[in-house]
Chains A and B, each alone.
Chain A
Amino acid sequence: MAVATLAIVVQRNLFAVVILLGIYSFMMAAVLVALDAVDVAMTEASVGAGVSTVLLLGALYLTKGDELKPLHRPLLPLGVAAATGLVLVYGTLGLPAFSDPSAPIHRHVAPRYISEGPRETGVPNIVTAVLASYRGYDTLGETTVVFTAGAGVIALLRRIRRRKKEGDPQ
């Protein structure tokens, strides 16, 4: 995965970058399966590796396929990124260890979802139960965001098509 990430950073051909991002998404889905997040992995494989790749390829078709060499040296961004990374690593030292059953994340609402969820909702898959039942309003908000984004995309792209049809040279 690190190799794919570094290749994305270095590669200038945008078509290769998009394909590498698809490969990266599939590897991310494999990692998510290893972390027991099967629903998330399925979504990542279909949406992250499938739909995103199609969207990016569509955008490349409408624009250019190659990236220019940057005009300025990448030293400043590299410094900013490295400094952020060091601060984050320092921050992780205060976090609970990996797979620690006494970490706060495992002691809050999750045990209740697992013990009561199947009885209260009748769905053995707790992720589905929480998504559709306990946090249904979240899902409603998500749908609103997706609808707004779709409306925005249509509003932006329809103007282009209309102008092309009128043969406006602008």
Chain B
Amino acid sequence: MTLANHYSYWVIIFLAIAGLYIVIARGNLVKKLVGLSIFQTSVYLLYVAPGKLIGGTAPIVSPQFQVYSNPLPHVLILTAIVVGVATLALGLALVVRLEEAYGSIEEDEILPQDRDA
């Protein structure tokens, strides 16, 4: 039955779409970064979910267990989370700098100021 087998992918897609919608539709720059974070967590799930084996356990070797989940996606996503928070910090620093230069963090207010200048 494909419907139940692919349910995990659809959860991921819902999160990705919600993040994408926030990034496109909202003009507030902090809100855009929040949307980007949600999109990012959906990618974490996209990597980790296929590595899970039902009946398996976390990949810490012990004589009591034979089946382990795939450790490679865990490693990649561990790196991605740390890099994600670093880019979030850089994005927020840019937002603070824009607020200082334009007095606003709304795209709808920043773009007209640029056009007039």
Q: Which residues of A contact B (CB under 8 A)?
A: 1-2, 5-6, 8-9, 14, 17-18, 21, 24-25, 28, 31-32, 35-40, 43-44, 47-48, 51-52, 55-56, 58-60, 62-64, 67-68, 70-71, 74, 77-78, 80-82, 84-85, 88-89, 92-93, 95-101, 103, 105-106, 109-110, 113-114, 117-118, 124-127, 130-131, 135, 138-139, 142, 145-146, 149-150, 152-153, 156-157, 159-160, 163
B96 touching A40, Cβ below 8 Å: no
CA distance in complex: A111, B61 (Å): 12
Interface residues of chain B, those whose CB is within 8 Å of chain A, are 2, 4-10, 13-18, 20-22, 24-28, 30-31, 33-35, 37-38, 41, 44-45, 48-54, 56-62, 68-79, 81-83, 85-90, 92-97, 99-100, 104-106, 108-109
Secondary structure class of chain A's binding surface, majority of residues: helix
Residues of chain A contacted by B9 (CB below 8 angstroms): 89, 92, 95, 98
Give Cα A135–Cα B93 distance, bound, in whole angstroms.
Answer: 31
Docked complex Cα distance between A139 and B83 (Å)? 10
How long is the Cα–Cα vector from A143 to B77 in the complex, in angstroms?
14
> Is the Cβ of A8 less than 8 Å from the Cβ of B38?
yes
Q: Which residues of A contact B13 (CB under 8 A)?
A: 85, 88-89, 92
Q: Check A8–B99 contact: CB distance below 8 A.
A: no
Question: What residue of chain A has the Cβ atom nearest to residue B13's Cβ?
Answer: A88
Other A-B pairs beyond A56-B92, A81-B24, A131-B75, 17, CB < 8 Å: A35-B48, A36-B57, A40-B74, A51-B85, A52-B85, A56-B33, A62-B96, A63-B95, A67-B106, A78-B25, A92-B6, A97-B5, A127-B71, A135-B75, A145-B87, A146-B82, A159-B97
